[in-house]
C-alpha cells in the first residue's frame, strides 16, 4: 500500500510539473541554417512565420527551451517575441510562466539589435541566493535575474559568498558582447582528477549560451 501511494505521488508530481509546447500556427517557413534563437523587441525588419504556445509549468527550463527551439526550427525561425493574452476588457495579461505564447520570426543577423556589454546573472536555485559583485551584496530570489551594465577596463569579481562556493572575475569585452551566468545552490560534483570522489560545492557560477540566457530573461523576473 505504501509503494502504491509513493507511485501515485510521483505520478501527480509529474502532472503538476508537465509542460507542453505546441506549434499552433504556421504562416510560412524559411530555409536557413541559423543555429541561434534570440528574443527580439523590434519586429519591423523581421519576417513573421508562426506561433508557439507553452502550457503548464516546469522547473526544467533547459528542457522547455529545447522543445521550443525544435518547434521554432521546424519553420526556420531564429527569433521570437512574447504574444500576451488579452483580458475581456482588452488589456493585456501579465506574463505567466505556466501559459504563454511566442510569435516566431526570421530576421537577418545584420538587423539584430547591438549588444551593450551587459552582465546577466540568473538565479536557478529553489531558495534565495546571495551573491557578491565587487564586495556589494545582492539577494536573488528564485527565477529572477540581475542585469548590470559593465564599464570598460573595470574588473568584476563575482562570488556566491559561501565556503566552497564559486568565484569568477570578468571584464567587459572589446566587442561589447553581453555575458550570461547562472547562479546555482549547493551540489555534489565529481572530482576533476577523475579519482571517483565527490566534492560538495556550496554555490556554482556557470556561463550560459546566449539563446538560452535570453529565454531565461523572458520567463524570469528582473531584479531592480
Instruction: Point out the least confidently predicted range of 26-40, 131-145, 196-210.
Output: 196-210
- pLDDT category at 189 given cuts 50, 70, 90 is low
Percent of the chain with pLDDT over 90: 68
In the three-class reduction of DSSP (H, G, I as helix; E, B as strand; rest coil), residue 196 is classed as: coil
Mean pLDDT of all residues belonging to the chain: 86
- Strands 167-171 and 179-184 come out as unpaired
Q: How far apart are CA 20 and CA 14, in angstroms?
A: 12
So where are the chain's domains? Answer: 2-111, 118-222
Q: How far apart are CA 116 and CA 150, in angstroms?
A: 8
Q: What is residue 14's predicted lDDT score, i.e. its pLDDT?
A: 42
User: 2.60.40, 3.30.1490, 1.10.1060, 3.40.50: which CATH number matches 118-222?
Assistant: 2.60.40
Task: Determine if the pTM surpasses 0.75.
Answer: yes
Q: How far apart are CA 170 and CA 115, in angstroms?
A: 17
Q: How far apart are CA 219 and CA 62, in angstroms?
A: 12
Q: What is residue 166's predicted lDDT score, i.e. its pLDDT?
A: 86
Stretch (H or E) spanning 171: strand 167-171
- pLDDT category at 177 given cuts 50, 70, 90 is very high
Q: What is residue 105's predicted lDDT score, i.e. its pLDDT?
A: 98
pLDDT at residue 6 greater than cutoff 80: no
- pLDDT category at 203 given cuts 50, 70, 90 is low
pLDDT at residue 15 greater than cutoff 80: no
Cα Rg of the chain, angstroms: 20
Please give the average per-residue pLDDT across 76-84, as a whole number.
97
Please give the average per-residue pLDDT across 4-13, as a whole number.
43
Please give the average per-residue pLDDT across 94-106, as a whole number.
95
Instruction: Return the number of other C-beta atoms located less than 10 Å from residue 99's C-beta.
Output: 14
- pLDDT category at 164 given cuts 50, 70, 90 is low
pLDDT at residue 205 greater than cutoff 60: yes
State the DSSP string of 81-150: EEEPPBPTTSPBPPP-TTEEEEEEEE--GGGSPPP--EEEEEE-SSS-EEEEETTEEEEE-TTEEEEEE-
- pLDDT category at 129 given cuts 50, 70, 90 is confident
Amino acid at each position: 500500500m505504501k509503494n502504491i501511494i509513493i507511485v501515485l505521488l510521483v505520478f501527480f508530481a509529474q502532472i503538476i510539473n508537465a509542460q507542453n509546447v505546441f506549434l499552433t500556427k504556421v504562416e510560412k517557413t524559411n530555409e536557413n541554417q541559423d543555429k541561434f534563437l534570440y528574443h527580439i523587441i523590434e519586429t519591423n525588419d523581421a519576417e513573421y512565420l508562426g506561433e508557439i504556445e507553452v502550457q503548464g509549468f516546469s522547473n526544467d527550463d533547459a528542457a522547455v527551451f529545447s522543445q521550443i527551439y525544435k518547434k521554432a526550427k521546424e519553420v526556420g525561425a531564429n527569433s521570437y517575441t512574447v504574444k500576451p493574452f488579452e483580458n475581456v476588457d482588452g488589456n493585456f495579461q501579465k506574463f505567466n510562466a505556466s501559459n504563454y505564447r511566442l510569435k516566431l520570426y526570421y530576421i537577418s543577423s545584420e538587423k539584430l539589435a547591438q549588444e551593450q556589454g551587459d552582465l546577466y546573472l540568473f538565479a536557478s536555485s529553489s531558495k534565495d541566493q546571495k551573491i557578491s559583485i565587487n564586495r556589494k551584496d545582492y539577494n536573488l530570489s528564485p527565477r529572477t535575474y540581475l542585469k548590470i551594465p559593465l564599464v570598460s577596463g573595470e574588473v568584476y569579481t563575482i562570488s556566491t559568498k559561501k565556503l566552497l562556493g564559486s568565484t569568477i572575475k570578468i571584464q567587459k569585452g572589446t566587442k561589447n558582447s553581453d555575458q550570461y551566468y547562472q547562479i546555482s545552490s549547493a551540489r555534489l560534483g565529481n572530482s576533476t582528477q577523475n579519482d571517483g570522489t565527490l566534492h560538495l560545492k556550496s554555490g556554482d557560477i556557470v556561463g550560459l549560451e546566449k539563446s538560452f540566457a535570453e529565454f531565461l530573461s523572458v520567463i524570469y523576473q528582473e531584479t531592480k
